[in-house]
Structure 1
Amino acid sequence: MAEEFTKEELTLPPCKYEYLDHTADVQLHAWGDSLKEAFEQCGIAMFGYMTELDTVEIKHCSEIEANGHDIESLLFHFLDELLFLFSCEPFLICSKLTITEFKAEGEEMRIKCKCYGEEFTLGKHPQGTEVKAITYSAMQIVNKPEQSRADVFVIIDI
């Protein structure tokens, strides 16, 4: 039986990310009005590097959790969980991420996220570049809540 989704769940957020050249890899730059939104956008940017997201329908929702001891490890583990979601059978490619719990302060940092998408299918989804791993190399997280702006920079191993 197919899952049913609300209109809000089916509405995709605006694109707030770009790809920056980096020696032998690629750097994701994502931003948002909050750190939570910047993390969501960074996850979508990673999936967008794997395929053209406008070919991905929302047919399935999975949930992931990630923990970290600091903000960088939280972002790393969040992206790593998303990459693991894609690497499992069936390969889930996501066109929308909604972080439902975002605790980015204190000793136990935590994210819970709903991941909307469908099974990756060659022929329907153009094959982009395989993402092998997330890295800490040159990772930057710039949070300016007083300006309603957050930026994240992450290099992914391709």
Structure 2
Amino acid sequence: MRKPYEIIDHTADIGLHVYGADAAELFSNAASALTDVITDHRGVVAAESLNLSVTGLDWPDLMVNWLRELLYLWSGKDLLVASVEIEQVSEQKIVAVASVEPFRSERHRIHNEIKAVTYHQIDVSESLTGWEAKIILDV
């Protein structure tokens, strides 16, 4: 079975290559990948749930906005994402519930500080084998 995502080398940044059987799984796996770049998502335990609704102009814009919203939970609210449940996803909107845990330095080791989710080389596409996305994170 193929991993749901890979972290790829990119000069001065971190790249993600994310996979999913469908769009919902792709966006869920992208959330896990983002958390794993920040910390080990397996060490994040759901303490509360947040309802999220994010819009975009198309699939790539939606992916960037989705990951920016999740990054804001970390950088703006000190919340780490344990998991997400995608309730609805279309080319211009995603509705999900994020299970989060407040950051605690004694529990969570931070791997990378992400400055931004970028549009640089963004790609979200459907193929015969499922969905794929390439995303570059500014660190």
Same fold, TM-score > 0.5, yes or no: yes
Q: 2:23 aligns with which of 27, 35, 58?
A: 35
Q: Is it true that 1:136 corresponds to 2:119 in the alignment?
A: yes
Distance in 2, Cα, partners of 1:127 & 1:74:
26
| Secondary structure of 2:125 counterpart | strand
Instruction: Find the counterpart in structure 1 of residue 76 from structure 2.
Output: 88
For 1:131 and 1:77, the matched residues in 2 are separated by 15
Identity of aligned residues (%): 27
5+ long unaligned stretches in structure 2: none
Paired residue for 1:153?
134
Contact 1:86 1:92 in 2 (8 A): yes
Q: Distance in 1 between matches of 2:41 and 2:56?
A: 28
Cα 1:25–1:134 shift into 2, 3 Å: same
Aligned residue runs from structure 1 range 119-130, under 5 A? 119-130=102-113
TM-score for both structures, normalised by structure 2: 0.93
- The letter for the 1-side match of 2:69 is E
Residue of structure 1 aligned with 2:64, choices 72, 76, 82: 76
Q: Specify the structure having the higher radius of gyration (Cα).
A: 1
Output the aligned Cα RMSD.
1.5
Matched letter for residue 27 of structure 1: G
> How far apart are 1:45 and its partner, in Å?
0.4
CA distance in 2, matches of 1:148, 1:99: 20
Runs in 1 of length 4+ with deviation above 4 angstroms?
A: none
Aligned residues between the structures: 138
**What's the CA shift for 1:56?**
0.8
CA distance in 2, matches of 1:119, 1:139: 29
